A = this chain, B = another copy of it.
């Protein structure tokens, strides 16, 4: 937790649950990433945290943006971001949504199927298109399914077809899986992409761009490598597979830029046992899967949890195992049952807890009012 967040919580005593996000960390992360990967255009994945405060900070740093829907298009345009800085990365778009973006000047679209390509050709004639390919997600905490991307053979045919349809076949993209902890994960995807570049060049199509997608991790419970190591691995792959003539590079971080910038400040509602011989206590928080912690599904994302506002006061107090759950009447609203968190034995209702590295995909997933519980409040400082 940064000093700024610590001071804010101490002084303002904000009502729980809430996200408190230090915008300086976003700026630092952006600088670290552009420093480590100077050749890559950084497109912030707006869906990770669409707060205007976050988007504005990145706008001022010179970032580019990747959007998933008309509302995200309007958010960016409304904040004064010019359309040449916006890519539309969702491969599932209604024709009218493509048109909406194109009419506002956005001309870079991702697709992974013939039907989508035809829609783009009709709704955004002459636009640049990037084809998403299927790659391995080994090593990711939040692995992707086959929902996005197509096979390499299909990608070749579709990029040829893009030209026939009057579009500009521009590049290839992939996603190695969110919260990817293996720095080598990009290598096979870059290799596959370079193959496609060469195959298409042989039929007269010169792609200009490789979009390395997202996947850069935030720091949750486990240690992750520094950004420099990721950048070194990515650039080694790029030169290994593309040689000296590197294509234009894009990268789409979301979690990496905002995850570590925020903490969720929450309150314990209840500590209880279900039976006299239970080992673990149930600790119920005022935040759960439906008001911010959707990514605890399957216990995929493990937020570090503190109980002393980072003061260190609880470092050496006796601790014991807990099952952590949310406040709703829903039985699946359990955060951690298999993952064995240990929290102070003295914890009781009214005490606060801090979930660290919670700036990404928390406010964004929050339900509009499940069980009458409001969406996660947020303070951007």
Contact = CB atoms under 8 A, between A and B. Distances in A.
A44 interface: no
Nearest to A150: B274
Interface in A337-364: 337, 348-350, 364
A69 B372 contact: yes
Contacts of A381: none
A36 interface: no
Given A71-B372, A72-B371, A334-B145, A329 B89 contact: yes
A154 interface: yes
Interface stretch (A107-115, A220-228, A239-247, A314-322): A107-115
Contacts of A94: 267, 269, 286, 349
B366 A71 contact: no
A304 interface: no
Contact of A284 (B92, B146, B329): B92
Contact of A349 (B115, B150, B282): B115
Interface residues of A, number: 76
A296 B248 CA distance: 40
Nearest to A376: B368
B119 A69 contact: no
Contacts of A380: none
Given A145-B332, A290-B365, A374 B71 contact: yes
B367 A271 contact: no
A154 B143 CA distance: 42
A10 interface: no
A375 interface: yes
A278 to B, nearest CB: 9
Interface string A318-335: 000000010111011110
Interface in A261-313: 267, 269-276, 282, 284, 286, 290, 294, 297
A257 to B, nearest CB: 16
B92 A297 contact: no
A270 B331 contact: no
B275 A151 contact: yes
Interface in A56-106: 67-72, 75, 89-95
Given A71-B372, A154-B276, 14 more contacts: A47-B328, A69-B373, A71-B373, A115-B270, A116-B272, A147-B333, A150-B272, A290-B365, A294-B367, A364-B367, A364-B370, A366-B368, A367-B368, A368-B368
Interface of A: 45-47, 50, 67-72, 75, 89-95, 112-116, 119, 134, 142-151, 153-154, 267, 269-276, 282, 284, 286, 290, 294, 297, 325, 327-329, 331-334, 337, 348-350, 364-375
